[in-house]
Amino acid sequence: MKVPFLNFAPVHNAIKLEIQNTFERVYDSNWYIMGKELSEFEEMYSEFNDTNFTIGVSNGLDALHLALIALGIGEGDEIIVPSNTYIATALAASFVGAIPVFVEPNIDTYNINPLNIEKAITSKTKAIMPVHLYGQACEMDEIMRIAKENNLFVIEDNAQAHGATFKGKMTGSWGDANGTSFYPGKNLGALGDGGAVTTNSDTIAKKIKMYRNYGSEIKYENKVIGHNMRLDELQAAFLKLKLNYINSWTDQRKELALLYNEQLVGINEIILPKIHPDSSHVFHLYVIRLEKREKLQKYLNDNGIGTLIHYPIPPHLQKAYAHLGYKKGDFPIAEEIANTSLSLPLWPGMSKDDLLSVTNCIKDFFETYS
């Protein structure tokens, strides 16, 4: 049986009529940018995420960028980011002229290790950007303590963890200003690009609203040199609709992850996802690690099963960051994760049969090669 890496069909078929009605409503409203769909979505997302404010923006990268602008971070400042993150986190730092300072993750959770954060702080450090990688919440209490003691801002990258919690408190509600993404493949995905900043600060929310809209609060009056980084009415309306289902989709992700664990736990060569006792994990991705990663990926591919690697090249080894002067071996944990991790197929509505095809194929592989 062929199993793709990701399949939107079960979710999108189930809500197709509602989506079509939503499209018609927005279409007929003749209002497409900065209207009531956006403000209603922002209110709904704030409620979902337990934050005072949500500011819908163009995408996740712009959300992180706007958060840094609003906090006044700029030229020459240092921002601590995990060494194994998706490039966007580091890029946001670069966009404001700051320097991303990479810090190694915990090899069990793949999230930034608070013990390593303290060692990386210098007189230039202005902020910490934890990333709730693959859907698991970072150790936010320790991160907030370190930030407070050293007078640093915290900007959570919550692109992969809608609805995750640490000690019961939502990711995206801890930091000073937090970015999230509604890229179609994320747990809450638009039908195009989208993102949001979440914050509890009225002042920061106002700044972000201004910077996302040409630096303007009153039409044709421009206070600062702003951007066009708005979330449009159609995407906001689709997101509003999909937000009604997110908890049920998350439950399905968790159930599928449990089933993967059950099926794979007997294979000694595979490292299964580990969850910090105080974190919840919303399984944006189900990531295993193994030495024979290339061989298994090829075997699965030859048998019609799609997988991906998140991520094959850590930011410090990307050409884009060659000027920072890092080399292979500088961040061994990030490199180990890049070299051994494999993301297995997972989506809400994935059938048990699909999942068992994946795990049976993995079992066949180990019977053949061990």
Distance CA 190, CA 29 (A): 20
Torsions phi, psi of 99, nearest 5? -105, 120
Question: Which range binds ligand PLP by CB under 6 A, 16-24, 83-91, 118-126, 337-345?
Answer: 83-91
- Encoded one letter per residue, x for contact with ligand PLP by CB under 6 A and - for no contact, window 18-57 reads ----------------------------------------
Nearest approach in angstroms of CB 295 to ligand PLP is: 27
Nearest approach in angstroms of CB 55 to ligand PLP is: 14
Upstream peptide bond of 32 is cis (omega within 30 degrees of 0): no
Which of 22, 84, 89, 357 binds ligand PLP (CB under 6 A)? It is 89
Which of 57, 68, 79, 88 binds ligand PLP (CB under 6 A)? It is 88
Site for ligand PLP in 167-206 (CB under 6 A): 181, 183, 193, 195
Question: Which range binds ligand PLP by CB under 6 A, 82-90, 140-148, 260-268, 342-350?
Answer: 82-90
Residue at shortest CB range from ligand PLP: 60
Helix (H) or strand (E) holding 144: helix 140-149
Cβ closest to ligand PLP, residue 60 vs residue 345: 60
Cβ closest to ligand PLP, residue 56 vs residue 195: 195
Cβ closest to ligand PLP, residue 160 vs residue 357: 160
Question: Which range binds ligand PLP by CB under 6 A, 84-92, 168-176, 322-330, 346-354?
Answer: 84-92
Cβ closest to ligand PLP, residue 178 vs residue 252: 178
Nearest approach in angstroms of CB 157 to ligand PLP is: 5
Nearest approach in angstroms of CB 368 to ligand PLP is: 34
Cβ closest to ligand PLP, residue 181 vs residue 279: 181
Which of 46, 49, 51, 59 binds ligand PLP (CB under 6 A)? It is 59
Cβ closest to ligand PLP, residue 183 vs residue 299: 183
Distance CA 330, CA 351 (A): 41
Query: Which residues lie below 8 Å from residue 156, measured CB to CB, with a gap of 6+?
Result: 129, 130, 131, 132, 138, 140, 171, 172, 174, 175, 178, 179
Contact by Cβ (8 Å): 172, 178: yes
Helices (H), the chain: 9-14, 16-29, 36-49, 60-70, 87-95, 114-120, 140-149, 202-212, 233-243, 246-264, 293-302, 332-340, 352-369
Q: Both tokens of residue 355?
A: 């999942």
Residue 61 binds to ligand PLP (criterion: CB under 6 A): yes
Strand, helix or coil for residue 316: helix
Q: How far is CA 311 from CA 7, 78, 184, in A?
A: 20, 23, 18
Helix (H) or strand (E) holding 70: helix 60-70
Selection from 215, 209, 73, 88 nearest residue 153 by Cα: 73
Contact by Cβ (8 Å): 116, 103: yes
Site for ligand PLP in 126-165 (CB under 6 A): 131, 157, 159-160
Cβ closest to ligand PLP, residue 153 vs residue 365: 153
Contact by Cβ (8 Å): 263, 356: yes
Cβ closest to ligand PLP, residue 57 vs residue 264: 57
Contact by Cβ (8 Å): 297, 307: yes
Partnered with residue 271 across adjacent β-strands are: 289
Distance CA 21, CA 23 (A): 5
Positions in the binding site for ligand PLP (CB under 6 A): 59-61, 85-86, 88-89, 131, 157, 159-160, 181, 183, 193, 195
